[in-house]
Structure 1
């Protein structure tokens, strides 16, 4: 069957939407409540930070193993299992009486969220017919963008009327509803009788985990840290070991097999570079706007909303366009607009008005939105059907890796005086955006070999 019938399709997308909103929001909701958690649980703030870090780290290292499991036992089963685990872990978070139990529950919650993220676009491939797949991915992109940008506002609204455990407790009824709808409406996807790469999954989790932790620590000075040269040697050695282990396997945990497909490999590279740009901008530009240019906190918040707002407006349109035009053309056009927006931000007048900056940020968001959905579709449709789960995880991993590296670069640049770091953040973002544009353009020139 080419996609689900319209009524079932709507219910299936309802389950996917609820799940993605919950998983993405829980990565963005909690920051605002960290001081309250430290106070109520009597914990050191440096330890409470792991309530956020543990969740993000577990998601990053377990995406590929869950996607491989989805290829083997079915994406719907991984999705529903992940939804139930996420819901149960949310209840445990709400009931936690110590910071250690809260962090432990967040690890379980991260595993559930990773299961959801690893297969959500794989499910979209079976929910929508081929001619409308771009529309489905565009809708998925819109939900992720809105959830990430709305997280702090939703957290503030909840904390205004309820204590912080309700940030987790609200997931319980939503998770149960999504699980029930998923059981009834999600498609039964083909099963692929392929081996599960256990050793590769463990090795990849260790390697990615160390890479993320090392990147996250770039911006912090500490006498207890290993020297950068030692960290670099360990990471390079692990990456080389991982490559040697994975390249000889037909269905590796790290999907080197589909990365060798030019459209998929270039799309994954484009995504990673572009998400570095997004993270550099989201994390670094508030310092430029507030601390250097002198906008108020309210004005800075308004300026930062222009990018996700434009992204949300253009994502459904970009998804529909991707059903008619190639990702290489749309992605290159979108990233060219992103480059133009960043150049215009670099050239902004010395004493700009809010409007001067707002439309430039909106142009960046417009370009990023035009790139995002077609790029995600290219990764999915360029991969063989039996590797759809790996392609779905690859798309999520590129986003998480790019965001992590972008945040690490900002932290490292903020070691310098703000007057130097602020403009440099924009220049580095422009450099990555140009690199992403080149990678995207290569998709027009380099064609996949016929199967």
Structure 2
């Protein structure tokens, strides 16, 4: 396997050690991504089993999401200060132990606390995952390994509803969490021997005020997105605005800020980060809007809807590794821009689905979207990581995770806002709301294309100056 083949002058780890790092990291990443998706399908049964209202059960999912989002930047900064091992290994241990606790929980509020702990452990893993891959693998293979990482994330997203539904019907909701225990222990055992120490780029005292501001900012942004149409949503927005202003001031004036401003000095890095956020927002909108279309307009069941979605991640699985390989030889910005254009075409085709489409027609359009997103994701990730120095890889990895998480949350919230707006006389007008949501997704992808084209102009200008 080329990923594990050593060549003269390669930086990073030897081939055998790279294989072990890849096994530990990707097992951990799959568990964290899987756990973020699989619980949603079980919320009604969990509410009944634990005898709580649906409004409480929602926090079985939200507590995990919030704790991940609020700690991503903190763990990225801590990794820049202490290296990878002191963050990744305890984080994986906390995630695995909290998973066991969730499986044994008999009280709803204890489960929520354990989900918070699980999210904190998961954030420690995913915030520095790409940085660990960059540290372990030589630069010539970075696109390929990031493509494989994208493939596994897409596969986890695809199988989560199906596996979750099967486990739920066969053994109960507790197995959704117990499933993590054995692979988590195995990944921890492998990681203890192989995860590299990583560079330590940060010096001086830790930016505690910046850490609190980042946590409040990201948490308030997600709560704002989820409460836009509810009473009290404006307070979350105000908190987010104040925390954001404080965080930016801190980053510009603190001697040792949580995120070093130098990583944003590269316009290509900043544009790649914004492109990532808008593309994940577009995907998030589509993933939430289409189930309403498939179930409430076309009349498919929940299981049939999950199957109709499968071509999207299948497209990512088919294309992402090859896109990553090409990004090692060609301009990642060019490849990711082409992918965004394909995604845009696929999303426009979904908007124009006929009133009673054939199953193959829906599948083909979802597959086109998946191919476009798979062509975009791994080259764009490579562009972000390769435009910062190796010692700042953990910061870039954290920003990448933040953009992905916030983009998905914002997309989900936008669909909720549009559905709430299309209620007349107590009657929900779902079909026009869903169609409008899909058009908003198209607009978000078009914005991502524009940002990516701006990145290409920066690349061309830099090449001319170098010449």
Assess, with a 3 A threshold, how the Cα gap between structure 1 residues 244 and 193 changes in structure 2: closer, same or farther: closer
Q: Do the aligned partners of 2:201 and 2:392 also contact (CA within 8 Å) in 1?
A: no
Point out the more displaced range, 65-74 or 235-244.
Answer: 235-244
SS of the residue corresponding to residue 198 of structure 2 reads: coil
d(CA) in 1 for partners of 2:334 and 2:140?
18
Residue 162 of structure 2 is aligned to residue 153 of structure 1? yes
Question: Cα distance, 1:76 vs. partner?
Answer: 2.4
Of 233, 238, 243 in structure 1, the residue corresponding to residue 243 of structure 2 is 238
Question: Cα distance, 1:298 vs. partner?
Answer: 4.9
Q: Which residue of 2 aligns with 1:437?
A: 449
Of 121, 125, 136 in structure 2, the residue corresponding to residue 127 of structure 1 is 136
d(CA) in 2 for partners of 1:121 and 1:227?
34
SS of the residue corresponding to residue 190 of structure 1 reads: coil
Q: Do the aligned partners of 2:273 and 2:384 also contact (CA within 8 Å) in 1?
A: yes
Assess, with a 3 A threshold, how the Cα gap between structure 1 residues 283 and 378 changes in structure 2: closer, same or farther: same
Q: Which residue of 2 aligns with 1:81?
A: 90
Residue 400 of structure 2 is aligned to residue 392 of structure 1? no
Give matches, 1:26-425, under 5 Å: 26-195=35-204, 196-219=206-229, 221=230, 225-226=231-232, 228=234, 230-249=235-254, 251-295=256-300, 297-415=302-420, 416=422, 417-425=429-437
d(CA) in 2 for partners of 1:231 and 1:256?
26
Question: Cα distance, 1:34 vs. partner?
Answer: 2.1
Question: Cα distance, 1:288 vs. partner?
Answer: 1.8
d(CA) in 1 for partners of 2:13 and 2:49?
48
Q: Tell me, which stretches of 5 or more residues in structure 1 are unaligned?
A: none
What per-residue deviation string (whole Å, max 9, x for no partner) do you get for residues 249-269 of structure 1?
A: 465324543123111100000
Q: Do the aligned partners of 1:251 and 1:257 also contact (CA within 8 Å) in 2?
A: no
Give matches, 1:14-25, under 5 Å: 14-25=23-34
Question: Cα distance, 1:159 vs. partner?
Answer: 2.4
d(CA) in 2 for partners of 1:217 and 1:227?
5
Give matches, 1:7-18, under 5 Å: 7-18=16-27
What per-residue deviation string (whole Å, max 9, x for no partner) do you get for residues 5-29 of structure 1?
A: 2222111110001101111111112
Point out the more displaced range, 346-355 or 98-107.
Answer: 346-355
Point out the more displaced range, 128-137 or 35-44.
Answer: 35-44
Point out the more displaced range, 440-449 or 143-152.
Answer: 440-449
What per-residue deviation string (whole Å, max 9, x for no partner) do you get for residues 102-161 of structure 1?
A: 111111111100000111001000121110111111111111111122111111222233
d(CA) in 2 for partners of 1:122 and 1:72?
14
Q: Which residue of 1 aligns with 2:426?
A: none
TM-score relative to the length of structure 1? 0.94
TM-score relative to the length of structure 2? 0.91
d(CA) in 2 for partners of 1:286 and 1:100?
30
Q: Which residue of 1 aligns with 2:5?
A: none
d(CA) in 2 for partners of 1:250 and 1:11?
38
d(CA) in 1 for partners of 2:351 and 2:37?
28
d(CA) in 2 for partners of 1:158 and 1:430?
35
SS of the residue corresponding to residue 446 of structure 1 reads: helix
Q: Do the aligned partners of 2:96 and 2:180 also contact (CA within 8 Å) in 1?
A: yes
SS of the residue corresponding to residue 414 of structure 1 reads: helix
Q: Which residue of 1 aligns with 2:4?
A: none
Question: Cα distance, 1:57 vs. partner?
Answer: 0.2
Question: Cα distance, 1:295 vs. partner?
Answer: 4.5
Q: CA RMSD in A?
A: 1.9
Q: Tell me, which stretches of 5 or more residues in structure 2 are unaligned?
A: 1-9, 423-428
d(CA) in 2 for partners of 1:87 and 1:117?
14
